[in-house]
Structure 1
Amino acid sequence: MKPDLRSAWENNVLVGDGAMGTFLYQKGFPVGISYEELNLTSPEVIEDVHRSYINAGAVLLESNTYSANYDKLSKFGLEAKVADINRAGVRIARRAAGENGYVVGAIGSIRAGKRANLSSSELKKFFSQQIAALLEEAPDGIMLETFYDVEELHLALKAVRKLSALPVICQLAVDDSARTLDGLTLPEAFHILQQDGADVIGFNCNTGPNGIKRALATLQGKLVLPVSIYPNAGVADYVDGQYRYGASPEYFGQMAPVFADMGSRIIGGCCGTTPRHIAEISAALKGYVVEPLPEPASVSAVERIAVQEHLADDEGQGGGEPTLVDLIKERHTVIVELDPPRDLDIAKFMKGAEALRRAGADALTLADNSLAVTRMSNMALGHLVQARTGLRPLVHVACRDRNLIGTQSHLMGFDALGIDHVLAVTGDPARFGDLPGSSSIYDLTSFEIIRMIKQLNDGVAFSGKPLKQKAKFVIGAAFNPNVKHLDKAVERLEKKIASGADYIMTQPVYDPELIARIAKATEHLDIPIFIGIMPLASGRNAEYLHNEVPGIQLSAEVRSRMAGLEGEAGRAEGVKIAKELLDAATTHFNGIYLITPFMFYDMSVQLLEYIWEKQGRKLSPLFR
C-alpha cells in the first residue's frame, strides 16, 4: 500500500507532471477554447496526456481543472458544469495515475494577476464551489497554483481548510523580484501561508528554472515547509504563428538536483514543458537521498528583507514646501478645481489658474476626464500650472481609463514632474460620456488604487518589484455625503482611510445642516476633510446637477432660490448661496474644496476673497 502524500514527500523528492494547456496546444487544440471542458467532451485526450507524464516518470498528477471555476467557465457558457468538469478531471487523472501514483485537484488563481472587480465573498464562493466538487472524487491532495498575490491565495487556502484536512500545496507565481504582486517578500508570504495551514509552498509559471532558483535562494535558512517547483520551459517565443519555449529537457534534468538540494520535495514543469522534460527530471533524481530541512532560527523571527539599499534617500523631504495635510493643521486651506479644457486652447484655463493663485488658492485640482467627457491631460496641465504660476497642482487619477500598466506609468510620470498630490477616484463609466463606445478599464477599485499608490511610496512597484527610490504621493479619497444613510457612507470612507488615504475631498454639499451632520459623523477620523462647495451658475444648472449628476443633491430651498435665474443674476445668487455654505463649512472644517462651474473662475475668486476676509488672513504681495 502506498504511503499517504505527506509521508511520500517527507522521505522522497516526488516528480510532478508537466504542462497541460501548452501541451494540448502543441497537439493542435487552439487557444480560445476551454481545455477543462475536454474532461467531458474528450476525456480520452486528457487521459492520454496524463499517461504520457506517468510513463515519463511522474508520480504526482494534477487534475485538468486549473480554470474550472464559475468565473472562468462562465466565459464559455459552462458555469452550470463546474461540478461535472471538476469531478471528471479527478476521475481521469486517477485512472491514469494507477495504484502507485498520486492525484491532486488543481485550482488556479481567478484574478490571474489582475485586479479584477471581484469581491472577497465572490472569490470565496467560487473557490468553495470548485473545492467541494474536487473533494467528491477523493483526490490525494489539493494544489493551489499560479497565484500572484498572497491575499487571493489566503482566501483559497482558507476555503480548502474549511472543507478538508487533505494536504494542500500552495504555489506562487513570482519573477526575479522575489516579491508577490501585493508587495510581500517570500519569507513573509511563506510565513502567512504556513500559519493558514499550507503543507507545501512553492513556485510555478511566470519564469523559468533560473528565475525560480533566484527566488528560492532568498529563502535559504528560512524554510519551514517543503517546497514545490514547477518552472516554465523558459520564455515563450512566437515563431511562424506558434508559441515555442526554449528551455530544453536536458536543462531541466540538470536543474532538478539543484532544486532538490535547496529543499524542494516536488519538482515538475509548467508552461512549455512536455513528457521529455519530466523524463529528464525523473532520471536526474533517481536514487536521490533527501536530507531533513534545516531548522529555522524561529518562525516568529521571519521579517521583511530590507530593500533600503535599492531605495534612494528622500533628499530634502523635510525641508520642502509643506503638504496640504500639513497646512490644514495650521489654518484654513482651500483647494480650487478648474476643469481642463475640452479643446486644444489652454489660454483661458491658464488665465484662470493665475487668477486663482493671486486670490490665494492653496492648490489647483484638475479632474481626470470627469463625467467620462474627454478633456486635456491633467498631467500636462498640472505641469504647466506648476511651472508657469507656481500654484500646487492636485490631480485626479481615475480607475476607468488606464489598466494596471498605464496607471503605474501615469503615476511614475507625476512623480518625475514633482506632482505629488493626487485624488484617487473610480471614474464615471465611459458609456455615459462623449465617447460611449470606448472601454471602461477598472483594473482597480478606488480602494485598491489608494493602496497601490501607497505601495509606490514604499518603493515597491505594482508588480511587487523594488524601485530605486520612493514616491512621495499625498493621496486623497473621494467622499459622497449626499446619501440617505450617512453612516454607511462613513463606513465606506473608513475603508479608504484603512487603504492609505491621507485626506478626503467631498462631493459638493448644498445644505448647512448636512455640513454639521458630516462634521459629527466624521469627528472620529484622524485625517483632514475638504468640504466641497460649488457655486451654482443658473437655475438650469441647479436642476441639472440635482436631477442628472450622480452624487449631487440640492436642497429644496436652494433650488427655489435659483429657479429661473440665468446669466449674471444666476451667478450672483450662486455666489451668495455658496458664501452661506462657507459660513457653515469653515465653522466645522479647516479644509475647503471650491469647484469652479463652467470655467467661471471669477466666482471662485470671489469665494476665496470671502474666505480669507472672514479668516482675517492678509495675502502676501507675492500673491498679487
Structure 2
Amino acid sequence: MIEFRGSKTQPLIFDGAMGTYLKQISPSDLTIEEYNIEKPAIIEEIHRQYIEAGAQAIKTNTFGANPIQYDRNLCRTYLEAGAKIALKFQDRAEVYGSIGPMETPDLGDYLFVAEVLYQAGIRKFLWETFPEADRLLEIIDSFCQDHGDTLHITSFAVFPSGETRLGVLAQEALEAADKNPHVQAMGLNCISGPYHLVQLVKSLPTYQTPLGLMPNSGYPTMVDGRLQYKENPSYFSQALAQGLNYGLSYLGGCCGTDPSYILELSRHLKEVPGQAKSLKKEERVLKKTESNLKKKLKAGKQVMVVEYDPPQEATRDYFKKLSLLRQMEVDAVTLADCPIGRPRMDASLTSLILKKDYGLDSVVHMTCRDRNINAIKALLLGLSLEGIQDILLITGDPVPSVDREDVKAVFQFNSARLAAFVKNLNRDLENPFTISGALNINAPNFDSELVKAKRKIKSGVELFFTQPIMGKNAIVQLRRAQKELDVPILAGIMPLVSYRNAQYLHNQVSGMQVDQEVLDSFHEGLSREEGEEIGIGWALDFMNEIKDEVSGFYLITPFQRLQVIERLLKDYGQGKEK
C-alpha cells in the first residue's frame, strides 16, 4: 500500500479543472478524452502549466473515459494515452488516475477502467465526483484484492446543502470511506464553490482518514448558451485556505478553475505556513422529540391509523367529516400523496390543517415522483418545524400515460434512497421523523419483497404499512414478515363495498390480490348497505385473526366513506371487549 503524502500541516496541492479549462483555451467539437489522441500536446501543456503554478499532484485526463461513453477498444486507447501524457511529469508531480462515475450497474465497467490505467503505469487513483459511497467502496475493495500496491482517494460531489444528487449526505459518504482500509484519503469536489464546502467541513466530525477539498471556482452563469464561471482566483484561494483551520490535508480545484487559481492557492499557502489550527468544530446539542405514534409503538400498545385522502378540489367540505375521526379516537390520519399520479390537495398542507385546526396527528405520504431533492428537503424541514413527524415514504405511482406529455415525473431516487436521506437529515432535527415504508404482502414473489423490505430497514425505515389484506395468502405472508423483519408492522385493512369495487381491485390495481372466496361473496345487484355489510364482515374477520400478532392496523377508507371505517372500528372494539 502506498502512503498518502498530504497532511494537515503540509497539505498536498492538486491541479484544477481539465475539461472547462481545455474548452476555454482550445474550443472544438472533440470530446475531452479525444484530445488525448487528437491533440495530446494541449493536454501536456495544461499539465505543465498546473505544475509550474504550484501543483504537487496532477490528474490524468481520463475522468470521462469509460466503456459506457466509448467502445471498449477506443476507451482503452483514451485511457492509455491519458496516462502516458500525465506520467511524463511523474518526476515533477504525483500522478493520479482520474475515474468518474458511470451510469452502469456493472462494477466490471469500473474495474476495466482502473485495470487499464494500472497497466499503463498508474498506481494512485482519484475516484472523483461520486454520488454515493457503498458502491464505490465495493469497487475499490474488489480492485485492491489483486492490486494492493495502490493508493485511493474517494471524492464525493455535494450541493451547498450537503447532499449528493442521490440524496446521500456528505457525512454519511465520508463516514463510510473513513472506515474502509483501502481508502488513503477522501474528500469533496465539484458542484459547490470553496466557501460552501469549507462551511460544510466545519460541521463535519473529525475523521482518521485525511480529508480534502477540490471545489468549483464558484457558480456558473449561462452566457450565449454556454456555462461560464466568474474569474476570481484570489477569492478562491483565500476561501479554500480557510479549510486548513479544520484539518484539510489536500486542496485543489474543479470546474471553472485553471492554473491561475492553483498559482494563487500555492502562493497563499506559502504566506501562511502551518496554518492548520484544528479549530473546534461547531457542535449542536439537540433535545430530540418523538411523535405520539412512535411513543405508543415503543410502549407496545396497538395503534390505529386511518387513511383519508386529501380532496381533489380546494374545498373545506373535506374537513366536515373530521369530527368522525376525532370521535373514533384514531392515533393518526394517513394522507396519500396524489395517488395514481392524479393531483389532490397537498398532503403536507392538509396535515398542518388537521393538526392546527382539528388536533389530529397525521402520517404524511411522500413519493419520489413529483419532487427533486431540494423540494423534498425544503418540505421536510417545514414539516419538522411544525411538529409533523410521521411520514410514509413510497416510490409513487407513475404519471398516467395520457398525461406524460404535460406532466413529467422526477423519480430522482426510490423509497429506500429517500429513507436513507431522511435518516441522515434526522441527525440535525429537534423533531426527527419516524420513517415508515410500504410492504406488499400480496406480492407473488414475496422473497423479493422481503429483500426490498430489509434494504429499506437498513436505509432507515422504522415501521411498515402493508397493502390491504384481502385473503388468507396475505395473512400467511404477513406472518412471515413478522418473523423476518425486526420493526413494527401495521396491517392494511380496506373494506370492500361492492361487486365492482372487488372486481376492479383484484383485476386492475397492482399489489391487490382478493381471495376467490371474498370475490364470490359479492354479486351484482347488491344495495350500498348490503355491499358495505359484507365488506365490513370480511375486514373484521381479518382483523380478529391477526390482532394479537401485529402492532396495529392501517385502515384505508373506501371512496371517502368514513362511516364505513366508523362502523368497522365500533364492531372491532366490541369484539375486543367480549
* Equivalence for 1:248: 233
What residue number does 1:92 align with? 85
Shift of 1:369: 0.9
1:518-555 C-alpha deviation (Å, 9 max, x unpaired): 22441354432211111112222212211121110011
Aligned-pair RMSD on alpha carbons? 4.2
Per the alignment, in what secondary structure is the counterpart of residue 16 of structure 2?
coil
Structure 2 CA distance, aligned partners of 1:39 and 1:342?
Answer: 58
- Alignment counterpart, residue 328 of structure 2, candidates 337, 352, 359: 359
Q: Which of residues 423, 429, 436 in structure 2 aligns to 1:476?
A: 436
Is the 1:204–1:270 Cα contact (8 Å) retained in structure 2? Answer: yes
Q: 1:13, 1:290 within 8 Å by CA — same for their partners in 2?
A: no
**1:501 maps to which residue?**
461
Does 2:303 match 1:333? yes
SS at match of 1:603: helix
After superposition, give the CA deviation of every residue in 1:559-618 in whole Å (9 maximum; x if it has no partner): 22224245514333222322222232325334111111222222222111111111229x
User: Distance between the aligned counterparts of 2:421 and 2:242, measured in 1?
Assistant: 36
8 Å CA contact 2:395–2:415 kept in 1: the answer is yes
Number of positions where the alignment pairs a residue of Structure 1 with one of Structure 2: 571
Unaligned runs of 5+ in 2: none
Distance 1:49 1:140 in 2: 21
CA deviations 1:54-77 (Å, max 9, x no partner) are 454545321122233456x3xxx7
Instruction: Tell me which of 24, 36, 40 is aligned to 1:39.
Output: 36
SS in structure 2 at match of 1:536: coil
Equivalent position of 1:322 in the other structure: 292
**Which runs of structure 2 are paired with 1:303-452 in the superposition (5 Å)?**
307-309=283-285, 311=286, 313-314=287-288, 317=289, 322-323=292-293, 326=296, 329=299, 331-347=301-317, 349-432=318-401, 437-452=406-421
Structure 1 residue 290, shift from structure 2 partner: 9.2
Counterpart of 2:560 in 1: which secondary structure? coil
The answer as to whether partners of 2:394 and 2:415 remain within 8 angstroms in 1 is: yes
Match of 2:47 in 1: 50
Deviation sequence 1:339-394 (CA, Å, 0-9, x none): 222223341x2233322332333321111111212211112222222333323222
1:199 is aligned to 184
Q: How does 1:194-233 map to 2 (within 5 A)?
A: 195-207=180-192, 230-233=214-217
Cα contact 1:368–1:396 (8 A) shared by 2:
yes
Find 1:613's aligned residue among 571, 574, 577. Answer: 574
Equivalent residue for 1:463? none
Deviations 1:105-134 (A, max 9, x none): 1013458xxxxxx7xxx2634432321232
User: Which residue of the partner structure matches residue 25 of structure 2?
Assistant: 27
Alignment match, 1:464:
none
Q: Secondary structure at the match of 2:324?
A: helix
Partner amino acid for 1:39? Answer: N
CA distance in 2 between counterparts of 1:563 and 1:412 reads 49
Change in CA separation of 1:175 and 1:527 when aligned onto 2, cut-off 3 Å: closer
Cα offset, 1:408, TM superposition? 1.1
Comparing 606-615 and 163-172, the one that deviates more: 163-172
Please list, as runs of the form range in 1=range in 2, the aligned pairs for 1:532-611 lying within 5 A after superposition.
Answer: 532-568=492-528, 569-611=530-572
Q: Which structure 1 segments of 5+ residues have no match?
A: 112-117, 297-303, 460-468, 618-624
Residues 250 and 555 (structure 1), Cα distance of their counterparts in 2 relative to 1, 3 Å cut: closer
Q: 1:104 aligns with which of 96, 102, 115?
A: 96
Whether contact under 8 Å (2:202, 2:281) holds in the other structure is: no
Q: What is the distance in 2 between the residues matched to 1:134 and 1:39? A: 14
Q: Secondary structure at the match of 1:413?
A: helix
Summarize the Cα distance change of 1:68–1:336 in structure 2 as closer, same or farther, 3 Å threshold.
Answer: same
Give the partner amino acid of 1:27: I
**Percent identical across equivalent pairs?**
28
- CA–CA distance in structure 2, aligned partners of residues 51 and 584 of structure 1: 76
Q: Distance in 2 between matches of 1:102 and 1:495?
A: 40
Report the Cα distance in structure 2 between the residues aligned to 1:490 and 1:216, rounded to whole angstroms.
38
**8 Å contact kept, 1:371–1:428:** yes
d(CA) in 2 for partners of 1:86, 1:486: 44
- More displaced 10-residue stretch of structure 1: 167-176 or 569-578: 167-176
How far is the alpha carbon of 1:232 from its aligned partner?
Answer: 3.5
Deviation (angstroms), 1:557: 1.3
Structure 1 residues 448 and 288: CA distance shift in structure 2, 3 A: closer
8 Å Cα contact 2:462-2:487 kept in structure 1:
yes
TM-score by length of 1: 0.78
Pairwise CA distance, 1:255 = 8.4
8 Å Cα contact 2:202-2:282 kept in structure 1: no
What is residue 301 of structure 1 aligned with on the other side?
none
* SS class of match (2:257): coil
Matched, 1:124 2:84: no
Going from structure 1 to structure 2, the CA distance change for 1:90 and 1:472 (only over 3 Å counts) comes to same
Q: Answer whether contact 1:174 1:207 (CA < 8 A) is retained.
A: yes
Aligned to 1:270, which of 246, 254, 263?
A: 254
Q: Which amino acid aligns with 2:258?
A: T
Contact 1:236 1:246 in 2 (8 A): no
Q: Which amino acid aligns with 1:278?
A: I
Q: Distance in 2 between matches of 1:484 and 1:370?
A: 22
TM-score (normalizing by structure 2):
0.83
CA contact (8 A) 2:2 2:150 kept: no
Offset of residue 438 of structure 1: 2.1
Q: Report if the CA contact (8 A) 2:469-2:491 is conserved.
A: yes
- Residues 294-319 of structure 1 show CA distances to partners (whole Å, capped at 9, x for unaligned) of 9x9xxxxxxx977334x4x34xx48x
Which of 133, 151, 162 is the matching residue for 2:116? Answer: 133
The one-letter amino acid paired with 1:105 is G
Structure 1 residue 239: deviation in Å? 6.1
Counterparts in 2 of 1:412 and 1:48: CA distance versus 1, 3 Å: same
How many angstroms apart in 1 are the aligned matches of 2:245 and 2:542? 71
Alpha-carbon separation, structure 2, partners of 1:288 and 1:368:
54
Give distance in 2, aligned partners of 1:565 and 1:609: 27
Alpha-carbon distance in structure 1 between the residues aligned to 2:331 and 2:207: 52
- Once residues 201 and 548 of structure 2 are traced to their aligned partners in structure 1, the CA distance between those partners, rounded to angstroms, is 58
**Counterpart of 1:134 in structure 2: which amino acid?**
L
After superposition, the C-alpha distances for 1:506-525 in whole angstroms (9 at most, x for unaligned) are 00111145324522441354
